[in-house]
Amino acid sequence: MIKGREYLSALLIFLSSFLSNYYFGSIGVFPIDTFAFFDSANFINNGFLPIRDYWTANGFLVDLIQSVFFKFFGVNWYVYLLHSSILNFIFSFYTYKFLQNEGLEYKYALFYSLSVSLLLYPPVGVPFSDHHSIIFSLLSIFAIISASKNNSYLLICLSIMLLVLAFLSKQIPAAFFIIFTSLYIIYQSIMNKNLNWIYVSSLFSFILILIIYFLLTAGKIEIKNFLIQYFYFPISIGANRSGGLELKYYLMSFIKEFKFFFLLMILMIYQINLKNIKYLKINIIFIIIVLISVLSQNLIKNQIIIFFLLPILIGLVHSKLNLVKEKKNIFFIIFLISLNLFITAKYHERFNIDRKFMDLQNISKSSYENGSDISSKLKGLKWFTTLNSSTLNVETMLLKDTIKYLKKNNTNSVIITVYQFINSEINSKIYSPNRWYTDDGVSYPLKDSKYFDYYVNFYKKKLIEKNVTKIFTISPIDEKSFNFIFTNNCYETTKINQILLKHELVNCFAK
């Protein structure tokens, strides 16, 4: 009976995780985010590697995982969403198991976990580094909590490995969770008067560092290159962003944007019972998780992704009521269930239906082009962007014309675009020396960065290695994305159509 119930719960979570992510994730396009890991993952299977062959400041583990999916299942839209759908299911399912382990009845654990499956990955749909990082980080927290209950060294190692995966997905929030978990391990060792937790975690961490070093060496990725791209340059960005994050702003964000988190934190503080170590530890852990998550959200300055935490917090508050049998609790349980329904409906409408994460909330969803009409790789995608419906046909026509032209190009060329499925569609043999092109100093160093010269040399070196003679830019990107690489005006620009420009390099690398 119990096994059958668990199988049914797993099936429901699986269906919710996959169907919601595939359906809502296929509605609309915000190109630079939607295709962030499409071409780059495909090019790994063509022999290119992040950091070694193209500049990337975060997310290269997402590239690597997606490349495995493309390798075995083919390069297309459905496989792209398969990756994120699986992560959506894994986290939602382990949320269900975690809430049960905290004393919540299976039907309530299922209820809150289904909410998580709707609010976690469907708002973006496609693989995304922010989501991977927080998913792996929270799975690590689940593992370390279970390790403390069972005194399991295996779960300690699992927790550490998940934190490494989180960090290799994106440094924030993983770095904060690494600090928190390290302090928790030290605390557990001192409280239990057993230093084995510290010994085991230190040894396993050292082993993982050696494995990463070996993999970098095997991939011919220079350690200096890895440190600059993945550590030093991102730290310089983070320092600039954190400098403007005042305590007053941080506190106000709780009240304005994260009011439900603020409410649930108050409830969790109210529930802390110093006589019950279980109440004390779990509630404090998740209060800290909320603080870390809100801080990280403010630092990354992206659309808010952490609303999926709310059903987990409600479930934890609910689980404490199950441990204290009082008649008045029934009214509080009804309140919590109603609150979860309201929160799930609110953010489901805002982020899944309206597609706010992709900045499509003010765009009509009724008019769209079939993705397969633009690229054979995009079957199943309903294509519309932030452009209004009257220019949608023009956009798709120009993209098709651009792809047709680029397929005829046989020279060694780099294509710079936010439509990062085009390289895969035309089966290009050369990938751009940079994964993303933004003008905010986040995707690559600008002139005021101390790593600018290093980036310029890296970029030029890759162009020379591939004997690149042409650079194509597709609007909204133009030559401003690369012209600062060259000290002289050494390229000739030709307009191919309204969005495609061809830049022929002439003696750009002459000494």
Residue-range domain boundaries for the chain? 2-358, 370-505
Q: Tell me, what's the pLDDT at 191?
A: 87
Lowest-confidence region among 22-36, 166-180, 234-248, 344-358: 234-248
Query: Which pLDDT tens digit goes with each residue over 64-123?
Result: 999 999 999 999 999 999 999 999 999 999 999 999 999 899 999 999 999 999 999 999
CA distances from 265 to 288, 309, 480 (A): 10, 12, 47
Residue 310: pLDDT over 60 = yes
Query: Which pLDDT tens digit goes with each residue over 11-70?
Result: 999 999 999 999 999 999 999 999 999 999 999 999 999 999 999 988 899 999 999 999
Lowest-confidence region among 227-236, 315-324, 342-351, 354-363: 315-324
Give the separation between CA 83 and CA 63, rounded to whole angstroms. Answer: 11
Give the separation between CA 438 and CA 286, rounded to whole angstroms. Answer: 35
Mean pLDDT of 217-230: 95
Give the separation between CA 111 and CA 75, rounded to whole angstroms. Answer: 35
Provide, rounded to the nearest whole percent, the portion of the chain with pLDDT above 90: 73
Residue 462: pLDDT over 70 = yes
Give the separation between CA 272 and CA 251, rounded to whole angstroms. Answer: 22
On the 0-12 / 13-18 / 19+ scale of CB atoms within 10 A, 472 is buried
Residue 472: pLDDT over 70 = yes
Give the separation between CA 68 and CA 98, rounded to whole angstroms. Answer: 29
The crossing angle, in degrees rounded to 10, of helices 129-150 and 60-73 is 100
What's the token pair of residue 101? Answer: 């382990």
Q: How many CB atoms lie within 10 A of CB 154?
A: 11
Residue 509: pLDDT over 90 = no
- pLDDT mean across residues, the chain: 91
Tokens 């941080």 belong to 250
Query: Which pLDDT tens digit goes with each residue over 131-148?
Result: 999 999 999 999 999 999
On the 0-12 / 13-18 / 19+ scale of CB atoms within 10 A, 507 is exposed
Q: Tell me, what's the pLDDT at 281?
A: 85
